[in-house]
Structure 1
Amino acid sequence: MNTLLFNLTLAVYFAATVAYLAYLVKPQELLGKASRWILTAGFAVHLAYTVDRYLEAGHTPITNLHESLSFFSLAIVGVYILFERKYRILILGSFVTPLALLIMAVSTGFPSAIMPLNPALRSKWLALHTIMAFLSYAAFAVAFGAAIMYLIQQHFLKNKKLGPMYQKLPSLDVLDEINYRCLTIGFPLLTFAIISGAIWAESAWGTYWSWDPKETWSLITWFVYAALLHGRLTTGWRGKKAAILAIVGFFVLLFTFLGVNLFLPGLHSYK
């Protein structure tokens, strides 16, 4: 059942991605609604897969790279659906859904077998710390999509090429607002994830901070987004600068999550 649900999720996310990209090319209302419903169905199946894996494993299924990438994809889709409901910008899905599909596809490259839980992970902090972290990652992923759209839209305005694509994309102000809202949601969640991780580390290893590669890069990621939030609140960073930093921050985040696990093994390495 678990494998069936995973494969079904992958198939539905692929269909949703195709539908959203088709909507980007030809934004018809019926196609937009179909894209939304397909993605929502995919999210429901993905959630069922995650719950089924939780019941089988007996713990939050975020303990290896396969599970973590899958949960990351689930969080991105869930957060995007919430933003789409608030802002009614279906075309944002054309930039976010492919990312969720890609992350889900990458998860297939890692072992999916449920293994006995590492003693250090047998803690009440497992669910709280990891879920908060992935929700923050998801908010930054949506900001990444909005930032890409912002730069594209600004390029059209700067070069006075107000063609079909320009007409399809939201205004720069709306895209900048989405970027900011994602930041105000993601940054507190990331902060809480780091603090809870430090408390968990103290109970598991006897120290709040050991400068493990994962800890170090998590702190770097936090400083990148802290600088972006500080710049927006105090010096009025908006527009292109904020969009570029949102993109840079997301690539730093991806390295913190995936690159560190693959290239800089430490206490937090996934198998």
Structure 2
Amino acid sequence: MLELSMTRLHEATVVIYALSVLLYFIDFLNNNRKANRIAFWLLAFVWLLQTIFLCLYVVKTGRFPVLTIFEGLYFYAWVLITLSLGINRLLRIDFTVFFTNVLGFIVMAVHTFAPVQVESHALAERLVSELLLIHITMAILSYGAFTLSFVFSLLYLIQYDLLKRKKWGKRLTRLGDLSKLEKTSYILNVIGVPLLLLSLILGLQWANIKLPAIPWADPKIIGSFIVLIAYSIYLYRKVRRQVYGRTLAFWNLGSFLIVLVNFLLFGSLSGFHFWYS
């Protein structure tokens, strides 16, 4: 019972860490200080839990946790979180903080969902299944964000066409303001990209545990990375290249077509995405 409770706490820590990374990503793109503050305190809570777990482990084993690869990963994740908190509070280098936390999340996910460290075989299998559940949930949430973003971009193009042809009326006012449509579409992609990235990290960890080797040539894996790249280019063009309007909206529509192809076609061609046993 105690082992199961500790496992649940570790899983909750990963979820909180994922939310912190998402908020740091929003701050990284938009210089959103409110998101940065919330992300910092979430990360501080993760650090507190990790420190408690670390101390309990030291008390239980009577030694420092660095003698095995999994112990080393845990301590490494704790060090990365500690450094990230220090950089965020003292140096305020947001670029470094974001990417340090992405690496920290990868290390924590590998450690938390590795069944080798779990004594009970049944609990280990359950842990792997829950890893898959979190992976799928994050992927679906990211696809949901991309779908809504697609809708807002489509409405933007319809509104733009109505304005260009001077088709005034109730339909024009009901569609919303062009700048608001574009901003909402962008915000949804800002949420979707890190969710998809975190989902891919967890998915690769699941594949590493359940499969003899990660099938990098699998259509679903390739398609997922193409989706991530397409939306990352969208964000890059928006933030760095200052691309706006119809050009960005059409790029968003094209990216969503890749999402549909990946979800409907590549999913059916995948050799393992429906093999969960």
Please, what TM-score do these two structures have when normalized by structure 1? Answer: 0.52
Cα contact 2:145–2:189 (8 A) shared by 1: yes
- Relative to 1, partners in 2 of residues 1:236 and 1:212: Cα closer, same or farther, differing over 3 Å? same
Cα contact 1:156–1:162 (8 A) shared by 2: yes
2:159 corresponds to which residue?
Answer: 153
Q: Which ranges of structure 2 fall in alignment gaps of 5 or more residues?
A: 1-124
Distance 2:244 2:142 in 1: 21
Does residue 163 (structure 1) correspond to residue 169 (structure 2)? The answer is: yes
Q: Give the counterpart of 1:231 among 237, 242, 264.
A: 237
- Residue 196 of structure 1: how far off its partner (Å): 1.0
Does residue 196 (structure 1) correspond to residue 180 (structure 2)? The answer is: no
Distance 1:233 1:210 in 2: 30
- Relative to 1, partners in 2 of residues 1:121 and 1:160: Cα closer, same or farther, differing over 3 Å? farther
CA deviation string 1:79-104 (max 9, x = no partner) = xxxxxxxxxxxxxxxxxxxxxxxxxx
Distance 1:207 1:174 in 2: 46
| Letter of the 1:268 counterpart | H
Distance 2:167 2:176 in 1: 15
Distance 1:235 1:149 in 2: 23
2:189 corresponds to which residue?
Answer: 183
Q: 4+ residue runs of structure 1 moved beyond 4 angstroms?
A: 119-122
| Aligned residues: CA RMSD | 2.2
- Residue 176 of structure 1: how far off its partner (Å): 0.5
Cα contact 2:155–2:175 (8 A) shared by 1: yes
Does residue 266 (structure 1) correspond to residue 260 (structure 2)? The answer is: no
2:227 corresponds to which residue?
Answer: 221
- Residue 192 of structure 1: how far off its partner (Å): 0.5
Cα contact 1:199–1:208 (8 A) shared by 2: no
Distance 1:270 1:254 in 2: 21
| Letter of the 2:129 counterpart | S
Please, what TM-score do these two structures have when normalized by structure 2? Answer: 0.51
1:124 corresponds to which residue?
Answer: 130
| Letter of the 1:155 counterpart | D
Structure whose alpha-carbon radius of gyration is higher: 2
Identity %: 33
| Letter of the 2:273 counterpart | H
Does residue 172 (structure 1) correspond to residue 178 (structure 2)? The answer is: yes
1:134 corresponds to which residue?
Answer: 140
Q: Which ranges of structure 1 fall in alignment gaps of 5 or more residues?
A: 1-118
1:63 corresponds to which residue?
Answer: none
Distance 2:185 2:140 in 1: 17
Distance 1:121 1:221 in 2: 28
- Other structure's SS at 1:161 match: coil
- What is the number of residues matched between the two proteins? 152
- Residue 121 of structure 1: how far off its partner (Å): 10
